[in-house]
Amino acid sequence: VDYEGWVSNPWGFCMADRVLYGDGDGDSSSSSLLLPRPKNRFEVLEAYGRHVDYEEQMWDPVKIRRFMTKAVSHLFAGEPNAKRYRVALDDIAGLPKKLMAKDPNLFEKQPPLSELILDAALKHLSEEVLYRSPEESWEKLVWEEEEMERKKNVVSSVVLSGSRNNGEDASSDVVASEMRSTSKSLIQEWQISRKEEEKNYCGDD
């Protein structure tokens, strides 16, 4: 099992059970005993917020808060502004120690940790990212991989042609230009595809 990959990008495995085992209906006797699956990452943060608030009531926030925030610091790995979200969590993690050193009353006036985490997510991440479902995230991942493979094939063809006609320097410039445009266009193309599918679906109704 790739535990390092799991920790660094947990949402990347959100469809693992359904893809590998077809466990997507939630009708089996075993799954009926479990809590409902979250529909998006915002719901993950809401559920996790209830847990961290309980933990901070039981234990010293100065000692445990950094562990609490670290658990969700990579939930949005690879998304726009994910680094800003992680920086915000790091600031939140240091608040108890910082405020308690100045005046314990200052910390008592702070909002609960669950609220601070949700505020950080809402401030730095888009609604499209926060409310994207596991299915949509999986489709996006597959789309990006297929597009990357297609672009690699295109680049390879251009490199081969360029090396024959203009030499290695020209080929390198073509590769660099093509790869820069690839990373910017993948998400945009996926979003356009999603909108077209939704439009066609509504039209069928």
Per-residue model confidence as pLDDT tens digits over 147-176: 888 887 777 776 666 555 555 555 556 555
Straight-line distance from the first to the last Cα atom of the chain, in angstroms, rounded to the nearest whole number: 43
Q: Work out the average pLDDT over 132-138.
A: 91
Cα angle for residues 196, 190, 85 (degrees, 5° grid): 125
Residue 26 has pLDDT above 50, yes or no: no
Whether the predicted model's global pTM rises above the 0.75 cut: no
Ramachandran quadrant class, 112 (left: phi over 0; alpha: psi -120 to 50; beta: rest): beta
Does residue 187 surpass a pLDDT of 80? no
Cβ atoms < 10 Å from Cβ of 91? 13
How far apart are alpha carbons 100 and 109 in whole angstroms?
11
Q: What is the pLDDT of residues 106-134, one digit of tens each?
A: 888 889 999 999 999 999 999 999 999 99
Report how far residue 177's alpha carbon sits from residue 143's, in angstroms, rounded to the nearest whole number: 21
Instruction: State the chain's maximal CA–CA distance in angstroms.
Output: 73
Percent with pLDDT over 90 in the chain: 40
Q: Over the stretch 37-89, which tens digit does the pLDDT of each residue have?
A: 889 999 999 999 999 999 999 999 999 999 999 999 999 998 999 999 999 99
Contact predicate 93/110, CB 8 Å: no
Q: What is the mean pLDDT of the chain?
A: 80
